[in-house]
Amino acid sequence: MKSRDRILFLLQLLPPALFVVILGVLPLVLIITWSFWEPTTYWIKPDLTIAAYEKFITLERYVTFIKTLRVSVTVTFLALIIGYPIAYFVRKIVNEKYRNVLLFVFIIPFFLSYIVRVFSLRLILGRYGVINNILIWTGLISEPIEGLLFSEVAVHIGLLSSYLPFMIFPIVLSIERVGESTIEASQDLGATFFHTLIRVIIPLTKPGIFAGCIFVFVSSLGSTVEWDLLGGVGEFATPQMLDSLMTALKFPSAFAISTLILALTMGALVLGFKFARIGELFETLE
Amino acid sequence: MGKVSVLKRVSLWVLTILALVFIFLPSTYLLVISLEPSELERVPTKLSDFSLRWYIRLLHKETLPDAIRQSAMVGLLTAGLTSLFSLLSGMAYRRLRKKSYFLGLLIFPIFVPGIVGALSLSVFFRLIHIHSSMYTVVLGHVLYALPYASIVPLVSFSALKEGFIEAARDLGASGFRVFRDIVFPLTRGGILGAALFGFLLSLNEFIRAYFLSGYQETLSIYMFGQMKGGADPSIYALAGLILSVSIFLVLIALIYYALIRYRSRSFAQL
């Protein structure tokens, strides 16, 4: 019976675990390795060369890379500034009746088409879009503003609207762990609301802040649709660069850039686990 | 938290509502626009002007039915595999000692940027000589959906107490019997939830489908092509249609989820 139990347990554990290891982890290890291989006409051959990384510098591919990073960091920062108060409000201030409704409403976008959501922003930002119509109607401007759509501003807006919920949820989870008595103790000792916020609540919710920032940053870094549908003509980010490198069969270069992206995200993740104790968030789920 | 001033409370309500408007207004506006019969990008001026003209136009799109069929197949297969894996991981999870490692592994794919995950998987399939097809998209989608979907059964599995299973065993139930009479009834809400989430995430996913699909495109790829190419207003109808279907399924899933949470709480009190 004991050994049958053990086999049953392994039959439950191994399929999902192996699935993620083989299709989710192994391919990443492969492309990291292959970024040091040498290109042949149609594929690659084993080698140990940093040629792909040199091209990243000499062909000025880093310019696009840094631009994408800059946009992702800005979007992450904006999402934090907007998302933190909302998460705090939803978890601590609003009463329970509305809380669940609000949480539900913020979950919905996870399961809607992000292509459609990004595309619909065109109707808001375009020449004849909602914003221009409102501004003309109120008399603030007489001619539609042209630069709203198909610009880096539009890309920022698109990314922010796509990924704001990714910031809110981890923070809600971590605020859940801050006890009511902790906050009351701080206030009973005479701390103002902002003092409590900065000295007590924010340090205690660091895991959620880090996790949210990593989610938003990683998602923005790998997002193509916003750039494709909202960016200006020739507006080009790392994902488009990867796509065109793959189409042009320049595999090691594509793998090298992917490796750099992975290094950044995994670095952030390791930092998050080490210094912000992101792991604690998982315990909330248990 | 009684010590929040009215001003703060009101300004936080305003901020939250503004954020919701920011997230939902564009899609809602698109739904309204899709009902305007003329070629103009505007809200129908009179109530009687609302029309399904562009939705009917969709019936005449030649390559659309194939894309819909492809997405439906990929979605259903993804839902099946996702719920199976969620069920298995939920059952294993209860008995694991180092729970957080397993959970970390399951959630890991969330932290891989979409384009890198898609690209690495496509070259991996190439290496082991698996040609791009519907099935490669399914595998990519299961990997993408599993982190989100597996959380649902984990919650519903907390309703399943070790004692229930032991009691059934002591009464002489076989492993299958335990599963049929105890495990499945208590967790089917979570399993169905995982399937629904898997279907929805797959239906609306773009970048992995783009990298992993073979000749036949999915609905998302089809839509993306139309959006980039500047199609006629029927693209609004298609977008509106996919949005409505998703919202309908999300609401079902969320109600289901609320129910199982409620049920698992009442069981936890036993």
CA distances from B258 to A109, A173, B126, B254, B265 (A): 17, 17, 42, 6, 11
Chain A closest-CA separation from residue B48 CA (Å): 22
- Please state the three-class secondary structure of chain B as a single string: CCCCCHHHHHHHHHHHHHHHHHHHHHHHHHHHHCCCCCCCCCCCCCHHHCCCHHHHHHHHCCCHHHHHHHHHHHHHHHHHHHHHHHHHHHHHHHHCCCHHHHHHHHHHHHHCCHHHHHHHHHHHHHHCCCCCCHHHHHHHHHHHHHHHHHHHHHHHHCCCCHHHHHHHHHCCCCHHHHHHHHHHHHHHHHHHHHHHHHHHHHHHCCHHHHHHCCCCCCHHHHHHHHHHHCCCCHHHHHHHHHHHHHHHHHHHHHHHHHHHHHHHHHHHCC
B52 found inside a domain: no
B49: pLDDT strictly greater than 80:
no
List, as ranges, residues 237-276 from A with C-beta within 8 Å of B. 238-239, 242-243, 246, 251, 254-255, 258, 261-262, 265-266, 269
The whole-angstrom separation of Cα B197 and Cα B145 is 7
Q: Is the CB of residue B15 less than 8 Å away from at least one CB of chain A?
A: yes
B10 found inside a domain: no
The neighbouring-strand residues paired with A44 are: A39
A282: pLDDT strictly greater than 70:
no
B47 found inside a domain: no
B211 found inside a domain: yes
Residue A39 has phi, psi (to 5 degrees) of -75, 140
The whole-angstrom separation of Cα A279 and Cα A208 is 10
Q: Is the CB of residue A86 less than 8 Å away from at least one CB of chain B?
A: yes
Residue B228's closest chain A neighbor by CA? A229
Proportion of chain A above pLDDT 90, given as a percent:
35
| Contact between chains at A20 and B146 (C-beta distance less than 8 A) | yes
The whole-angstrom separation of Cα A146 and Cα A262 is 37
B4 found inside a domain: no
The whole-angstrom separation of Cα B35 and Cα B100 is 49
Q: What's the full length of chain B, in residues?
A: 270
| Contact between chains at B204 and A113 (C-beta distance less than 8 A) | yes
pLDDT-wise least confident of A95-109, A194-208, B46-60, B76-90: B46-60
Which uninterrupted H or E stretch holds A39?
strand A38-39
A11: pLDDT strictly greater than 60:
yes
pLDDT-wise least confident of A267-271, B142-146, B257-261: B257-261
| Contact between chains at A23 and B113 (C-beta distance less than 8 A) | no
The whole-angstrom separation of Cα B207 and Cα A254 is 16
Q: Is the CB of residue A178 less than 8 Å away from at least one CB of chain B?
A: no
Average pLDDT of the segment spanning A236-260: 90
Q: Is the CB of residue A50 less than 8 Å away from at least one CB of chain B?
A: no
Alpha-carbon torsion (A171, A177, A180, A185), positive or negative: negative
B229 found inside a domain: yes
CA distances from B88 to A145, B182, B254 (A): 55, 15, 22
Show Cβ contacts of residue B47 under 8 Å, excluding neighbours closer than 6 positions: none
Average pLDDT of the segment spanning B84-105: 84
Mean pLDDT of chain A: 87
pLDDT-wise least confident of A114-128, A180-194, B159-173: B159-173
For residue B265, what pLDDT is reported? 65
A225 and A114 Cβ atoms separated by less than 8 Å: yes
A152 and A172 Cβ atoms separated by less than 8 Å: no
| Contact between chains at A221 and B113 (C-beta distance less than 8 A) | yes
For residue B1, what pLDDT is reported? 46
Q: What is the largest CA-CA distance in chain A?
A: 81
Q: How many domains does chain B have?
A: 1
B195 found inside a domain: yes
B83 found inside a domain: yes
**ipTM value of the model?**
0.89
A38 and B132 Cβ atoms separated by less than 8 Å: no
Instruction: Residue B80: give its domain's CATH number.
Output: 1.10.3720.10
For residue A220, what pLDDT is reported? 92
B114: pLDDT strictly greater than 50:
yes
Give CATH superfamily name and number for A59-285. Answer: MetI-like (1.10.3720.10)
B267: pLDDT strictly greater than 70:
no
Average pLDDT of the segment spanning A237-243: 90
Residue A233's closest chain B neighbor by CA? B228
List CB contacts (< 8 A) between A110 and chain B: 148
Q: Which domain holds residue B184?
A: 62-268
B131: left (phi over 0), alpha (psi -120 to 50) or beta: beta
List CB contacts (< 8 A) between A126 and chain B: 41
Chain B closest-CA separation from residue A219 CA (Å): 6
